[in-house]
Amino acid sequence: MNIQELDAAPNSRPIGVFDSGAGGLSILSELQKALPHEDFLYFADSAHCPYGERAPAEIEALTLRAVQWLEAQGCKLVVIACNTACAFSLASVRAAVGIPVVGLVPALKPAVQHTTSGVVAVFATPVTLEGSLLREVTRQFADPAGVKVLKLWHRDLVPLVEAGHADAPQTRALLRELLTPLAQAGADALVLGCTHYPFLVPAIQAEFGDTFTLHDSGAGVAKQTRALLEQAGHLNPGAAPGQIKPGQVTLYTTGEARQVAEVAAQLWPGDIRVCALSLPEEVLA
């Protein structure tokens, strides 16, 4: 029996959050700040993480599978908290499900607004860097302002975060290697175009100080999600006035639950229940 069958009231149903791994917890943090009374179901497709170098059709199939599972659990809205998944899957997923789906757009607009050098960098996965969403926001915001956009990625960063090494010495060394050329090229704003990358902020700031202003999509996504729920009348009001009923977070992972729980404990400041989830693999056939 799913959650929808247990409680059909839309305002008390949970919000679904999907990411290829634990990186979407950075988005969930912003969602929880904006929506403190909501319950969240988080789907981490850790068995197939990272998505960054997978074929677009495979990313689309995995994303659709996850969002449909969250819909089947009774979620009233799903946030795709994965830039890579949004780059190729957002439109098709929205067409395939019957609930609102909120996606991520690279935070290039605020980076363009904050740059004084006229050079900004987008730090993301290959799929995001070559996707239509980044091309669209570049044409909309960077090109008219005459701002140069540099692109950067590295295959090891997501696995380092997933392994709980976001601020480890090897991660800092890799960030020095990757970001020093950007600073030398004049970039003064850095778009964190992968939800794993906000967890690198302490390491980036420790190595580069205020060289870069850092921009991610978390706050904007949380604002949009709250607005959609308000418009639909589906916000969870929580407890009676003057009382506090914080929402609950449950994380389902297709990976090894104990390992994911260890990483989540490092990345998430509050209580989070981690459950193993087994789904058919025909989607990859």
What does the block give as tokens for 273? 């229940």
Q: Report how far residue 208's alpha carbon sits from residue 150's, in angstroms, rounded to the nearest whole number.
A: 18
- Classify residue 20 as exposed, middle or buried by CB count within 10 Å of its CB (0-12, 13-18, 19+): buried
For 97, residues 6+ apart whose C-beta sits below 8 A from its C-beta are 67, 68, 71, 78
Could you list the active site residues? 82, 194
Q: Report how far residue 86's alpha carbon sits from residue 92's, in angstroms, rounded to the nearest whole number.
A: 10
> What 3-state DSSP class applies to 155?
coil
CB contact at 8 A, 37 and 60? no
What burial letters (b/e) apply to 136-160, b meaning 16+ CB within 10 Å? ebbeebbeeeebebbbbbeeebbeb
